[in-house]
Chains A and B, each alone.
Chain A
Amino acid sequence: MSSIGTGYDLSVTTFSPDGRVFQIEYAAKAVDNSGTVVGIKCKDGIVIGVEKLIASKMMLPGSNRRIHSVHRHSGMGVAGLAADGRQIVARAKSEAHNYESTYGEPIPIKELADRVASYVHLCTLYWWLRPFGSGVILGGYDRDGPQLYMVEPSGVSYRYFGAAIGKGRQAAKTEIEKLKLSELTCRQGVIEVAKIIYGVHDEAKDKTFELEMSWVCDESNRLHQKVPEALLEEAKAAARAALEEMDAD
């Protein structure tokens, strides 16, 4: 729903006559134009995957990580402006640490999501700040089980079974909806996420990409970590095979 907000879009503290804050909508555009980030909640944990578009062949594979651990039990996949995303992650880490220092238990994921969302929202309230140009998909595993949240630049945060942001989000969401998440284990989920990301990557429009994936599940002892090498390769192979099958039709 694009429209020009001429005159009402100069400041994040200005509403348009139809009640929109254009600066926030523009911030969301930065997220929409970035590489796809997908997150799903399986029956035993969370899987997060990122389509990391590679700007230059000179970059070392594995650098410029888009998925970060927030705490032992949680992690975030970031889309949009990378530097903005780094700040959000830093804040999340700080909140998680402070909570545990005060209350003596790991921060519940719901509480973490609330705090991150409040912080992102905060930066949309003052004219001397600009909104964050990045959205995050936050996944974690606490005593209430695995949970998945998404925080948008507006500061809005919802809990999801499956979520996607970035360029290929529409297609990714369609694919996620086809999955029976409540029956999938994370092992299977990793394969599915890889297939989705390879599937939504636009060979024509975009440069090459690197697939980055993480999980937090029973198999990882409820710790947030990179998906193990072997499984990652298996997932990539399955994804490439699925693509060829589609092309062959």
Chain B
Amino acid sequence: MDRDATSDVNAPHSMGTTIIGVTYNGGVILGADSRTSTGLYVANRASDKITQLTDNVYICRSGSAADSQIVSDYVRYFLHQHTIQLGQPATVKVAANLVRLLAYNNKNSLQTGIIVGGWDKYEGGKIYGIPLGGTIVEQPFAIGGSGSSYLYGFFDQAWKDGMTREEAEQLVVKAVSLAIARDGASGGVVRTVTINSEGVTRNFYPGDTLPLWHDEVEAHGSLLDILNASNPEPMST
């Protein structure tokens, strides 16, 4: 009763998650929520699911936190050696392939869905989706994690090729916030990472800056704030 998966704080950490990767005119933007849960308990409400592999390649991790971390550690190590051998930055395709090999060859032990995104001088901005099982698919945009179920229809309607950076960023933030609204396993803040020829930029959108969707209620600060206001009527809003 007290030891089932819903309330056992020693249960494996899973990132319910919403992760997104989109290409735009000049690079890619990766976005994710920040909730890591163990059953119903939110173990980390501000996690960073967008992990660096090299200067120009990042990944979004979903599924088992442990599995996705170990995969990203291995691939970072292999990419590092590859970069030294080649004498130049690794391409996004190579990074994605290394992730895919690990995911496919260990499919019976791993439970992680990964989105690889980055920029290289040969192909520009690229996104690769590597879901459970280890397929690799190069896509103009990719979505993953439990929250992504609620985004398929949204992207069908809202996605356009060749967006500007601002358009793409707004699309990503809107999509993650929509998924957070409906998926209990996604929540917290929205983090984005933009990668292009000029480099990498991280952005952070706190939960209270996100738009509210149908039926969502405004966040309040402490109830003490109401007392300081001119009309301290409880429950007046």
Contacts and interface: CB of A to CB of B under 8 A. Distances in A.
Contacts of B101: 102
A244 interface: no
Contacts of B91: 105
A111 interface: yes
B224 interface: no
B86 A105 contact: no
A103 B97 contact: yes
B94 interface: yes
A104 B97 contact: yes
Contact of A105 (B85, B87, B93): B93
Interface string A200-213: 00000000000000
Interface in B73-121: 82, 85-87, 91, 93-94, 96-98, 100-101
Q: Is the interface of A mostly helix, strand, loop or mixed?
A: helix
B122 interface: yes
The bracket for how many chain A residues form the interface is under 10
Q: Which 6 A-B pairs have the closest CB atoms?
A: A104-B97, A103-B94, A143-B122, A103-B97, A105-B93, A104-B93
Nearest to A104: B97
A103 B83 CA distance: 12
Contacts, number: 24
Contacts of B122: 143
A108 B91 CA distance: 12
Contacts of B87: 110
A199 B100 CA distance: 53
A149 to B, nearest CB: 15
Interface string A95-112: 000000011110010110
Nearest to B121: A143
Interface in A217-245: none
Contacts of A114: 85
A170 to B, nearest CB: 33
A103 B98 CA distance: 6
Contacts of B97: 102-105
A104 B98 CA distance: 8
